[in-house]
Amino acid sequence: MNKEYRFQHKHLLGMEQLSVEDILYVLSIARSFKEISARPIKKVPTLRGKTIINFFFEPSTRTRLSFEIAAKRMSADTFNISASTSSAQKGETLIDTARNLEAMSPDIIILRHPNSGSPLLLTQHVNAAIINAGDGTHEHPSQGLLDLMTVMEHKGRIEGLTIAIIGDITHSRVAHSDIIGFVRLGAQVRVAGPATFMPPGIESLGAQVCATAAQAVAGADVVMALRIQQERQHDPLIPSLREYARFYGVNRKLLELAKKDVLVMHPGPINRGVEMSPDVADGTGSVILDQVANGVAVRMALLYLVMGGEKGGDTQ
């Protein structure tokens, strides 16, 4: 890596903004931080005195907890606001809520929001660093980065690998961040699912659309299944979860088409028996829990980097 390199981003809004160099740098920092979580005393003083707000407009257990643990292991002070406890319930606009938070001088706001583009809107109205923890059906960059880290850890590289992503690509912000990230690092990304789950122009992100799950999985190094949402009222995307499981569920038989050492991934939470059969989720090759562990390390790295990457916020 170029010695002159510096991570220049104040906000992390999407994988889209990251260059190959940025991604590799984040992952290298994440790898060096991962060891902290294995210590008996899992805490470093790096972000002591920093205030981090977890601002979650959508229900989330895993991502919010992961960010909170990451922040606490870096000694930052963390606060959680969820949609039900925020003034959004009382009709306050996102910008007004953000400005009020801003008045309390947070250093980082981590935002999860149902509307795509909300983190960008926030950056236009507050001074805090903004990290996108999932916006609408747009991006979920920290998830994309932890997926890259997990594959890198097991395969030693990304370039030249074949990644199959199966499920509702249209409504998956994880898929969007993953496609951008894996393609940028030189992997071949295949997507599969019924056409109702394929967004128009997904090829423009570099993904190859496959007609069947079998085609996508054939010879793949990584198979990732996405969580299937319940059927939508006004937009019949699939007839039933049962039929979906039969044609697109990731099971043992499907995986036989992949490489012997295939990695099985899922961004969680899993609908066991729908997009993935239980034996696959728990079987050899499943790195689903590694994803969760790496999530903490990646988020520690991101918090550190958006704060300028200086060791110790208070080095006076």
Running DSSP on this structure, what letter comes out for residue 227? P
CB of 13 to another protein, least distance (A): 11
| Closer CB to another protein, 16 or 290, in the complex | 16
Is residue 205 near another protein by the rule CB under 8 A? Answer: yes
Interface residues for another protein in 134-163 (CB under 8 A)?
135-139
Is residue 299 near another protein by the rule CB under 8 A? Answer: no
Is residue 311 near another protein by the rule CB under 8 A? Answer: no
Is residue 118 near another protein by the rule CB under 8 A? Answer: yes
Least Cα distance to 177 among 140, 148, 231, 208 occurs for 140
CB of 49 to another protein, least distance (A): 32
Q: Which of 193, 199, 249, 295 binds another protein (CB under 8 A)?
A: 199
* Cα four-point dihedral sign 149, 154, 160, 166: negative
DSSP labels for 141-173? HHHHHHHHHHHHHHHS--TT-EEEEES-STT-H
β-bridge partners, 108? 52, 129
Interface residues for another protein in 9-38 (CB under 8 A)?
16
* Placement of tokens 């747009």 in the chain: 138
Least Cα distance to 154 among 259, 50, 53 occurs for 259
CB of 252 to another protein, least distance (A): 32
Q: Which two tokens stand for residue 47?
A: 């972000």
Contact between 177 and 187 (Cβ < 8 Å) = no
Least Cα distance to 77 among 51, 42, 111, 110 occurs for 51
| Closer CB to another protein, 177 or 291, in the complex | 177
Q: Which of 12, 94, 145, 280 binds another protein (CB under 8 A)?
A: 94
Give the number of residues in contact with another protein, rule: CB under 8 A: 28
Q: Which of 91, 156, 201, 236 binds another protein (CB under 8 A)?
A: 201
Cβ-proximal residues to 59 (8 Å cutoff; 6+ apart), any chain: 82
Q: Which of 19, 84, 87, 115 binds another protein (CB under 8 A)?
A: 115
Is residue 268 near another protein by the rule CB under 8 A? Answer: no
Q: Which of 90, 234, 260, 311 binds another protein (CB under 8 A)?
A: 234
H helix count then E strand count, the chain? 11, 9
Residue ranges that bind another protein, judged by CB under 8 A: 16, 93-95, 113-118, 120-121, 135-139, 170, 173, 176, 199-202, 204-205, 234-235
